Structure 1
């Protein structure tokens, strides 16, 4: 059976459709690659693209996308609510079928080396591709963002893994690596307060928050392992959101995350109104969520796949901001739709 990997690059452009279409056109030009999802965000000024295929084709498409983004996006004039450090901010490769994470790491490292050497863009390896665990976390690499990288890149411990140790003013720097499946997931609140959203984010994220006391600083861990979170306000929606990356959905599934944020929102005097999936989600995660929410209602007899998915959509309010189409948002359905 064919080896299949997924690539989910994040580009620092969420409004200019011509630029977005040029990037996705470069991806689609490679035979053997299927473009699965394009998810632009105006206020975040960021587009998450999902595509999949056989490894050689995927890394060729990723290279062309990074090249195109660097040509068309000017980071010196870019701004948005989402943290960023480059035109292609991050480019993860993810095992889907008949391939291990370590095998995907070989392809990710090949891509990173090619981007650094041929395009002369500073590249940092992350997650499974990064042997130095002090700099394998995306948040640690991206700290300081685009504006701070002109100095950061000169520090000996932040020399890029590939490419020049000089910040590219137009294209910025990028992060490439192999990782497990990640869900980008935003939960909507009935408040416009970014402060409240960030308080909830600190309560739930694994790294928690820092409390300053008389004897110094103390870090209080959050309630959810394998969850990264920030809070922000999205004018487009008129709502604050808890914006999260779920990095191990086997250990901390999406339905547990939703319930925990609901509980913390209540503690902070607000309510969850729904949620938003950025990019795609595995079928199992939706089925497990459907079973979970139905069981909370005392319903145990539903086994139909589509009814379980619908139960998950309704319980988590995934239709609140835009229609949630399982055929487009569930990765297995997209791959099966030749």
Structure 2
């Protein structure tokens, strides 16, 4: 499945309720996972990160931009970071199954919608730029909100790509683009000298002849009592955080200043951290352990870069997305409920267990048989077998809910055994009563899967009959249905057999043991004959 990351920056970093409201727009969008929401009071800026299916990510970006327009007034905004819009920058980043060209198309689609629906002027930048001079974001944002307000609609060079040729009075303008994975990386100096931070920023940024792919600013952090070199590393393959850190350390040391700490804002690829670790070892002429693990490399990078408050599980994008499961399409919304059942089945709770799973397998086999029958009924090609298929279909339609109901009956039977085992046993009478209850519960726990096996075997006969005459284009589904029913039968038989040794009633044990043998044997014969028909039909 194609996965896209979006990392919009909004001009609000002091009001937590506003940041939360914007982040909630992404969180509530089906098909999107919210990955992070970081705010910086000094910058008065927040970064909301989310990822998901391409169309869903565009919808989330639009929703977030609309909420920012509603809650942020740039006329009242003050912060250290340059800005021109409430939704200042919206970049799309390819993660998996989509290339840069695909992200450019998404960026332009999003930009058009922001311009048309929110009436905000939009400038395309980065890989999505339509003008070479706009590839660089700093060129697009030149003059910030106040400067752009005076030039838009007057200077053709400042005409937006989409939206009105006038600034939005409170939301300003927005830059939308596509880019490689950008790392927001800041280095704090053990100094209050803002001029020093600005000199270092100028020395390392690409446009002033510094390091490739580095955009840097010197900022004052009043709440921390220090200055910061704030960077966007637009391609860590050209300049990594480790290389930027080393260069800043060198320039600061030349003026008698040390690095206090550094920080990564938002997410970072695993590859980038590994690269930092290896580059640092090379620069310091160190040797790590042979076949160093990711955990070791991550820890080494965190320590040597003096990374503060870095949480690998939350900030390494591969770890953050490792369990990402996007919202299913509306037609398959019930998959959430299937997932809840599987979570319950996987838990340490004794029920539901194998008996309940047997019922689900059996009901699934019935449904697949019904599917093939429905694809056969009404087709001229199968006119001669209509009545037979209709009869098998009717039988399966009646069997499926009965089999599925045994899910509950099996769980209740097991629970009854647990309740019997919990009965007091302090006196002889109590022991006798407990023994009787446990024997009755064991029989109940055997009778329930016996019903499952018997009904599934009956259903398997109907699926086998449909396989012989049903729609050839769906014959493989009959095979899968037969396999599901066979699995349900054998699962139920296993649940019968596990209870039999504990039952003292010899006649009961013999009768149900014989039934178990019969179900296994008949199911095997029916399965083999059905699969033989299926394989012959599909030519394998």
SS of equivalent to 2:192: coil
Moved more, 265-274 or 279-288: 265-274
- Computing the radius of gyration from Cα coordinates, the structure with the larger value is 2
| Structure 1 unmatched ranges of 5 or more | 209-220
1:249 is aligned to 2:236: yes
Question: Following superposition of structure 1 onto structure 2, how do residues 162-311 of structure 1 map, counting pairs within 5 Å?
Answer: 162-208=162-208, 221-222=209-210, 224-295=211-282, 296-302=284-290, 303-311=292-300
Question: Following superposition of structure 1 onto structure 2, how do residues 1-338 of structure 1 map, counting pairs within 5 Å?
Answer: 2-154=1-153, 155-208=155-208, 221-222=209-210, 224-295=211-282, 296-302=284-290, 303-319=292-308, 323-338=309-324
Conservation of the 8 A alpha-carbon contact between 1:290 and 1:311 = yes
CA displacement 1:140-198 (0-9 Å, x = unmatched): 11110011111121211110100111111211100001111111110010101111000
Using the alignment, how far apart are the partners of 2:278 and 2:299 within structure 1? Answer: 10
SS of equivalent to 2:301: helix
Using the alignment, how far apart are the partners of 1:66 and 1:288 within structure 2? Answer: 34
| Structure 2 unmatched ranges of 5 or more | 325-540
Cα displacement (A) at 1:90: 0.4
- Structure that is richer in strand per residue: 1
SS of equivalent to 1:103: helix
Using the alignment, how far apart are the partners of 1:131 and 1:86 within structure 2? Answer: 20
SS of equivalent to 1:248: coil
Cα displacement (A) at 1:311: 0.4
Q: Which has the higher contact order (CA 8 A, sep 6+)?
A: 1
Q: TM-score, normalised by structure 2?
A: 0.58
CA displacement 1:108-153 (0-9 Å, x = unmatched): 1000001101111010000111121012211011110011111121
Moved more, 292-301 or 68-77: 292-301
SS of equivalent to 1:207: helix
Cα displacement (A) at 1:281: 0.5
Q: Which runs of 4+ in 1 moved over 3 A?
A: none
SS of equivalent to 1:37: strand
Conservation of the 8 A alpha-carbon contact between 1:262 and 1:271 = yes
CA displacement 1:256-289 (0-9 Å, x = unmatched): 1111111111123211122011111100111121
Cα displacement (A) at 1:337: 3.6
Over aligned residue pairs, what C-alpha RMSD do you find? 1.1
Q: TM-score, normalised by structure 1?
A: 0.93
Cα displacement (A) at 1:297: 5.0
Using the alignment, how far apart are the partners of 1:54 and 1:244 within structure 2? Answer: 29
CA displacement 1:20-45 (0-9 Å, x = unmatched): 11111111111110111111000100
Using the alignment, how far apart are the partners of 2:207 and 2:151 within structure 1? Answer: 23
Which residue pairs with 1:214 in the alignment? none
Using the alignment, how far apart are the partners of 1:35 and 1:331 within structure 2? Answer: 12
Which residue pairs with 1:216 in the alignment? none
Number of positions where the alignment pairs a residue of Structure 1 with one of Structure 2: 321
Using the alignment, how far apart are the partners of 2:281 and 2:254 within structure 1? Answer: 25
Using the alignment, how far apart are the partners of 1:163 and 1:97 within structure 2? Answer: 30
Conservation of the 8 A alpha-carbon contact between 1:200 and 1:268 = no
